[in-house]
Amino acid sequence: MTTPLRLGIAGLGTVGVGIVRIVQKHGALLATRAGRPVEIVAVSARSKTKDRGVDLSQYAWEDDPVTLAKRDDIDVFIEVMGGHEGPAKHATEAAIAAGKDIVSANKALLAIHGQALAVAAEDAGRVIRFEAAVAGGIPVVKSLTEGLAGNEITRVMGVMNGSCNYILTRMEDAGLSYEAVFDEANQLGFLEADPELDVGGIDAGHKLALLSSIAFGTQVDFDGVELEGIGSVTIEDIHQAADMGYKIKLLGVAQMTGRGLEQRMSPCLVPDTSPLGQLQGGTNMVVLEGDAVSQIVLRGPGAGEGPTASAIMADVMDIARGMRVSTFGQPAKTLRKARPARAAVPAPYYLRMQLLDKPGALAKVAHALGEAGISIDRMRQYGHQDTSAPVLIVTHKTTRTALEEALVDFKDTGVVSGDPVAIRIEAV
């Protein structure tokens, strides 16, 4: 009889339970497709008595995930606990030392400790697979490491946090403020226990750092990701962007430039007719560009029990079939340390500011832009108030450095009230 692949699952939250459901429901199908049985042997979680809606009685129970990781009767350690330190890190390290293959949904752990873990696993002849850590059910890791392995990747771009996309599209559809939709999303359970992980771009930044490593053959560098959340986006920005044919998205972009590796996660304007512009709700989308394939677009659910468990099982099935792929698409010791680079590729920008009702106000702003070498493509004024008026400017392509120079000069004009909002317009 063919030897079964034996699984140990650490974490029985939404995703862990989803894995159990798939194995219990599709056991025969998995065995047929893998050429061998795939079985759960043992599990671990904080509470043994909690009713999770699945039968766990046939599996061994371990209170400590590290003990689970060391069991002689498991081949694959599945880590779906979360957290970049503590039990998740210790158990993963223990599993590698015990000669287990790893399947993980833990983006934070891999974004921060991925290089060291990959080296340790590969030295031990083991693999770490993490399809579920990036964009839920979308097979983007497999696309980069396998499907596009013959390409030089030129750019990775995408909407990688469904909660932020829900907030931005809900604001537009319902005409609600950011604060109102944030509270709604929180009450619906769409946000992490620490919402800043979502709305601050941190969660999506972890994912971008992982994709950058695969795409450009570099060591994972989460610290090199420029992060800006969606908290400053107003309903006025969304309406005015729509008026000009754009949508606002929390967009991750990574590309290798002459100055180094550019990685940024920030609100951007994208054309409303583009695939990214048409993305609604909690859906994710990743755009991959390569020299041979040109551009491919991957779209699908970015989170949830089914999609994330599906991605976990895709990795499990590869291991069951004997497929051994380096963690980041090439041996970890060959990954080079990239020089972080700020956004140097020129792009148009959307500027929103409150101008005081003073003679020559627009001329002073235009002069400050001109002094920084920035030309104006379009300018609009909305809803004149008693003493000021909101003014919208779309620039021609410029660098972030030039734009920041102009923003500093705005303060000296005496006609700009408060801090202007600047959002990059991304070509897609």
**What are the mean pLDDT values of the chain's consecutive 10-residue runs (428 residues total)?**
91 95 97 96 94 94 97 97 92 98 97 97 97 93 96 96 93 92 87 88 96 97 95 90 92 92 95 93 94 95 90 97 94 94 85 88 91 92 75 92 92 87 89
Sheet holding 5-10, edge to edge: 60-62, 38-44, 5-10, 76-79, 101-104, 128-129
Rounded to two decimals, what is the model's pTM? 0.92
Helix (H, G, I), strand (E, B) or coil at 112: helix
pLDDT of residue 381: 81
What structural domains and CATH numbers belong to the chain? 5-133 (3.40.50.720), 140-301+333-341 (3.30.360.10), 349-425 (3.30.70.260)
Site of tokens 């619906």: 188
* 47 alpha-carbon distance from chain centroid: 30
Q: Which of 166, 170, 169, 236 is nearest to 195 (CA)?
A: 166
Residue 207 annotated to the active site: yes
- How many Å apart are CA 159 and CA 169, to the nearest integer? 12
Tally of CB atoms within 10 A around 409: 17
Catalytic residue among 70, 107, 207, 249: 207
pLDDT of residue 122: 96
Task: Write the CA distances from 16 to 8, 62, 251, 282, integer angstroms.
Answer: 10, 14, 29, 21
pLDDT of residue 383: 66
